[in-house]
Amino acid sequence: MRSTGGWSTWGTMALCLTAGVGSVGCGRGPQVQSELPIRRVVVYRNGVAYFERAGHVDRDDVRFKMRQTEVGDFLATLAVMEQGGSSVRSAAFPLKDETGTPPKDDKEKADRDNALRTVVLSLDGRAHDLQVGYVAAAPVWRPSYRLVLEPSGEAQLQAWGIVENLSGEDWSDVQLSLVAGAPLAFEAQLGTPIIPGRPIVTDSGEVIASMPKGETSVADRDADGIPDAKDAEEERPKKPDNGPTGAAAATPPPPPPAAAPAPADSSFEGGTGTRARGEEGAMAGRPGARVHREGWVSPSQPRNVHTLAAIAVQGGTTRYDIPTTITVPDKNATMVLLVARRVKGEAIFLYAPDDGVPDSASHPFHVARFENGTTGILERGPIAVFQQGSFLGQGLLDPLPAAAAATVPFALERAIGVEVERKNDVQGTRLAKIDEGSLWVEHDGVLKTTYRVQNGGDEASKLLVKHPRASGARLHQPPPGTEDNVATGTALVPTTVPPHGKQELLVDERSAQREYADWFGPVADKAVTAYVADRRADAKVAAQLSAAWPLRAQIVAKQDQRQKLQQELYQLRNEAQEKRSDLKAIEKNNKADALRKTLTARLAAIGARTDTVSAESIQLGQELSELQVRWRAQIRAIHLEEGPPPKAGQ
């Protein structure tokens, strides 16, 4: 394989690469074997594959040989499609003997399980065009990607699918399809007889006092429930429509769409480099084909788009249908080209601390960022990144839906340093709910994260910060271009750092925190005042609150006045106690008469003021009681199920 400019001429690589795999399953015999050849294989990513066999049968039966462990799955998923001729009468299969001598050891048990069994489909004639589909265990297919970054802000994406054949027989010239995702599938044991235990009933001589009531379900008729001529006409046998018949008939996966023919010299649109010349057969993966290339061909550009897989999306599942037939010998693997196209892509930096890379807490990764320009999902798999004729590194691509963007790290960039600082605060008090005289308010818990970035390189650096999102919080005025990824609980926040410069990036997150509030506290006053001024407020509730708020102001004023009196009364009582203690200390001191008179006079003044303050406090208490009765009557008439949400930008 010739190399030019640091690149191997991948254009000479056949679209179907086949290699031997390990000896898994050696000596176990085929999974399923029949005189009907395999025509189609659909491989999934959950450990199963759909096999379709078809051919002409000139006997009165068709036989399938398989291991005992495969009988259950075969019977559970068997689909018989009538193609013409006689019909299928029945499917007979041997049962696993559960009553014989138990195996001596694990080897004998394995030998019994791997012994071949025969399932016989009985036909009602000797000529039959038959098509049979079934599901069997199979290795998952695995994707592998190549990404070639270009200075223009685009990239060439190439996706390959690796399939392994461990079925026990060759797949010769089959239509191959690869399905992304993993539909539900389970291991059936229909080939193993099960005899459930039954309860033992003895005759106790008891008499049944009443008969249990039964139920009968009648087929739908013409609404009157009475059989008549119209019902008889509906039940009369109709002419067969040549659809699937037989007890085992089922609907198989749809056949792959036919690929549109392409001109013999068609090349990948938007290709770069010198177009290769050679035999088209090499690109179809045919053994023994020869190719003569002149000049360098971009590694992500097949010469003929007709050789690419057709991508179909059905029911949210992506299927890749290979347009040419594929041959995969038993105990071998094949690699088929699924996607090769130009997409939006670039090399940037990503700050995403990873416990497995300690220095990533201070330095960003060098990453390849590109969009999935296909119509289907790209499954999880390894990806190799190239740029300007050089291999940059490898990364791991997570499942990528159509039109979504992937950011794949492949190296650590130590020329850029990042520091992180976080601060918490509370802001944005608002009215949340009023019910049965109780008030709830909401606050915004504010988490501000500041990223300080320093670029030690000679060029401006485009950086994405993978910010871990606080649970239940919303982004407040995020920087332009921020991508909020709800599924992963992160946000990608962009910034550009000048060469040898610094940049600060602020991420503001806010989460609502609901709590009970006192009607006469400052929090309630702030929340209600803001609600009444809000144009989105309920007009009736706002009017009720506005009418009640002057009464609240009186209550608050009298509460403050009474609190001051209570505080003064407390101080007076403490001072009186102190003066009494002083008088007791000089009670027998003949030289302290003057001091005794002063203390006695002060104690009398304290007592007089205490009486006055106590009377005023009691009077205020009575007034407050009357106001609070009126207040409760007004507040209980107010009901607010939910206050307005925070305004945009809050």
Distance from C-alpha of 528 to C-alpha of 533, rounded to nearest angstrom: 9
Look up residue 454 and give its amino acid: Q
Distance from C-alpha of 474 to C-alpha of 508, rounded to nearest angstrom: 8
Which DSSP string do the residues of 341-402 spell out, in sequence order? EEEEEEEEEEE--BTTBGGGGTSPEEEEEEE--SSSPBPSEEEEEEETTEEEEEEEEPPB-T
Q: What pLDDT score does 246 carry?
A: 37
Distance from C-alpha of 364 to C-alpha of 463, rounded to nearest angstrom: 8
Residue 21 DSSP class: -
Tokens of 471: 């649970």
Query: What is the maximal distance between C-alpha atoms in the chain?
Result: 142
Q: What pLDDT score does 113 carry?
A: 61
Which residues in 9-108 belong to E strands, given as ranges? Answer: 16-20, 32-34, 38-43, 48-57, 61-67, 79-85, 88-92
Q: What pLDDT score does 177 carry?
A: 93
Is residue 284 within 8 A of residue 303, CB to CB? The reply is no
Is residue 470 within 8 A of residue 499, CB to CB? The reply is no
Is residue 155 within 8 A of residue 148, CB to CB? The reply is yes
Q: What pLDDT score does 244 carry?
A: 40
Is residue 517 within 8 A of residue 505, CB to CB? The reply is no
Distance from C-alpha of 167 to C-alpha of 139, rounded to nearest angstrom: 9
Count of all residues that appear for the chain in the document: 650
**Cα separation values, 255 from 173, 180, 250, 258, 320, Å:** 15, 16, 14, 9, 12
Q: What pLDDT score does 630 carry?
A: 93
pTM for this structure?
A: 0.56
Mean pLDDT split into 10-residue runs, the chain, 650 residues: 35 44 47 86 90 85 77 77 61 56 67 71 74 87 93 90 91 92 57 57 47 40 46 48 38 41 34 34 34 39 54 72 91 91 91 90 92 88 89 88 88 93 89 92 92 93 93 90 88 94 94 90 92 92 94 94 94 93 88 89 93 94 93 93 77
Q: What pLDDT score does 188 carry?
A: 53
Tokens of 169: 């027989």
Tokens of 205: 């001589």
Tokens of 584: 């007791």
Distance from C-alpha of 482 to C-alpha of 471, rounded to nearest angstrom: 18
